[in-house]
Chain A
Amino acid sequence: MQLRSILSAAAITLVTLGMAQSECSEYWKSAPRSGDSRFTVNGQSRGASIQVGVPTELNVIIYKGQDYRVSFVYDEKIIGDHVIARIIEKVRQPKPVKDAHGQADQGKPVFEDNTKVIWDNQDHEMTDAVEFTATSTKRIAIEVTAPGIPEDPKSKNSGKKMTDIGCLGILIEHMPTPAIGF
């Protein structure tokens, strides 16, 4: 009997985990599209299950000469009524290396990845979408953190722990940078 209970619990967990992943993978499709019909959906759009408080990075490539729109959609019942989002540029750069005498090493250069925050929605009223022009091809990480929701006193008293994993969708749209005016 006990074994049967363990097996049932394990099977339910297995199914739940699988469902959570597959349910979230297409979550980006539910994000509202841009009102500008020239934008087309970018293949790097992605949905995933994320944990409250744990930053999730979606690493993508943006191409020079394209305009992009990045927007977020999420399960507000778990994630909260907003997300904290940043766009971080990743750059591979030579790292200064010194030899034993403190002089610049003339051998093969060593490279490292440096990061630079180039947009933060905390500076833009926690907006759920950003549009920009890519003037260079770049490697960017779209970093999203879910704040979660305040714990319900009723569930606190009942001893039930609130779930802290919900779906996030990141919709990326793009178009060749259009010129305005005549």
Chain B
Amino acid sequence: MMQPRYVLIALVATLCSCGSPANKDESKPDTLVIGGDDASDLTENLYQMPTPNELFQIVKTMSGEGQKRMMSPAKNVDRYATMQKKALNFGVYATDLVYASNYKVTSEVVRYYLTCKKLGDDLGLGGAFSDTDFSRLERNLTHGDSLDVISNDAYERAYRRMQDDRMGPTLALVLAGGWMESMHLVTRQVLHFDAADPLVMRVAEQKTSLDHLIDLMEQYKNDPGVAGTRNDLIQLRDIYDTFPVIRSQHQGASPSGRQILGDDVTVIITPEGFNDLVDTLETMRENIIKPEDSVDTQPNS
């Protein structure tokens, strides 16, 4: 039988480990730190990323039809062995699911739902992609508008589950994989570069979400599973940093009559900058989706 002393030590250790929120700097105290004379000097930082659904809903009107071949091959789902690859590719597949639902690539919605369920179960997210929702999805396959709601709900459930269960590094990798895939799917819709193309401008302003993601991942920069991916993102940010940013006071009122907060911000992108960004992004994405038991991947046919 276990000695009471060891029981106590184990319990204290458990208590300590519970106080390590996923989204915090290691040098700062926990969300639930009580009191302390210096408590008011601290700011608690929480981060949220927009769901891919938000971006796809915005760019859908600017882009062409959804294309199955641009999505990561679902058949590779069993070929990711490490937790790092599983997390990154969960983000990739979940984004593909939301993309397929938004762009009405109906034939792929069920396939990618099951793919996410499989990887989600491996990551300990059982229940986020439920059988009940799967049945709902099957029943609604002919109602495109419901698909993105169901898919997005599942994505959000998985996201919040990782937050509640304090799976910080896993969540960081999922978000990184999701961001890369969103960018891949959006940039692939740009057939001819035109700096004034609204879609190109949306690509340029994703500098903001990349800065945000890198900030979010800062607290895990020493985690060996996260560090490499974060460094990749920093490499992309270095490219974005070469794009001039112009800030100007907004002229006129909002079309809705609501107040406008802050200045207008325009990120200037050149054809060379765009190509550099896309080439680097594609190389990194290929590396993410590459199965761990092989060298090459084939795109969806």
Q: Which residues of A are interface residues toward B (Cβ below 8 A)?
A: 3, 6-7, 10-11, 13-14, 17-18, 20-22, 25, 42-46, 48-51, 53-61, 63-67, 87, 89-94, 109, 111, 113, 116, 118-119, 131-139, 141, 143, 164-165, 174, 176-180
On whether A59 and B256 interact (CB within 8 A), knowing A7-B11, A137-B265, A164-B34, the answer reads no
B15 contact set on A, CB distance < 8 A: 10, 13-14, 17
Q: Are A17 and B264 in contact (CB under 8 A)?
A: no
Q: Are B160 and A25 in contact (CB under 8 A)?
A: yes
Q: Are A58 and B46 in contact (CB under 8 A)?
A: yes
Which of A56, A116, A119 interacts with B43 by CB under 8 Å? A56
Q: When A and B form their complex, which 4 residue pairs have the shortest distance between CB atoms, in order from nearest?
A: A133-B254, A44-B48, A136-B265, A43-B51
A13 vs B19: C-alpha distance when bound (angstroms): 12
**Interface readout for B227-254 with A: 1 if CB under 8 Å, 0 if not?**
0000000000000010001010010001
- Cβ of B122 to closest chain A Cβ, rounded Å: 23
Q: Are A54 and B4 in contact (CB under 8 A)?
A: no
Q: Are A44 and B50 in contact (CB under 8 A)?
A: yes
Q: Are A63 and B241 in contact (CB under 8 A)?
A: no
**14 new A-B contacts at CB < 8 Å, known A63-B58, A65-B58, A138-B262:** A7-B8, A22-B164, A43-B53, A43-B54, A59-B212, A61-B50, A67-B254, A67-B258, A113-B211, A133-B254, A136-B264, A137-B206, A137-B208, A177-B256
On whether A138 and B265 interact (CB within 8 A), knowing A25-B160, A43-B50, A55-B44, the answer reads yes
On whether A178 and B256 interact (CB within 8 A), knowing A14-B11, A59-B216, A92-B211, the answer reads yes
Interface residues on B, range: 35 or more
Is B195 part of the binding interface, using a Cβ–Cβ cutoff of 8 Å? no
- Cβ of A177 to closest chain B Cβ, rounded Å: 5
CB closest residue in chain B, given A55: B43
B208 contact set on A, CB distance < 8 A: 61, 137-139
Q: Are B163 and A25 in contact (CB under 8 A)?
A: yes
B216 contact set on A, CB distance < 8 A: 59
B19 contact set on A, CB distance < 8 A: 17
B163 contact set on A, CB distance < 8 A: 25
Q: Are B7 and A7 in contact (CB under 8 A)?
A: yes
Q: Are A180 and B257 in contact (CB under 8 A)?
A: yes
B191 contact set on A, CB distance < 8 A: none
B245 contact set on A, CB distance < 8 A: 93
A87 vs B259: C-alpha distance when bound (angstroms): 13
Interface residues of B in 24-70 (CB under 8 A from A): 31-35, 39-40, 42-51, 53-55, 58
Is B81 part of the binding interface, using a Cβ–Cβ cutoff of 8 Å? no
Is B261 part of the binding interface, using a Cβ–Cβ cutoff of 8 Å? yes
28 contacts between A and B (CB under 8 A): A7-B7, A7-B11, A10-B8, A21-B164, A42-B54, A43-B159, A46-B48, A51-B39, A54-B44, A56-B44, A58-B48, A59-B46, A60-B50, A63-B54, A63-B55, A67-B254, A89-B262, A113-B215, A116-B262, A131-B258, A135-B254, A137-B206, A138-B208, A139-B208, A139-B209, A164-B34, A165-B34, A177-B258
**Which of B14, B58, B256 has the largest count of A CB atoms less than 10 A from its CB?**
B256
A61 vs B45: C-alpha distance when bound (angstroms): 14
On whether A118 and B261 interact (CB within 8 A), knowing A43-B152, A109-B241, the answer reads yes
Q: Are A111 and B32 in contact (CB under 8 A)?
A: no
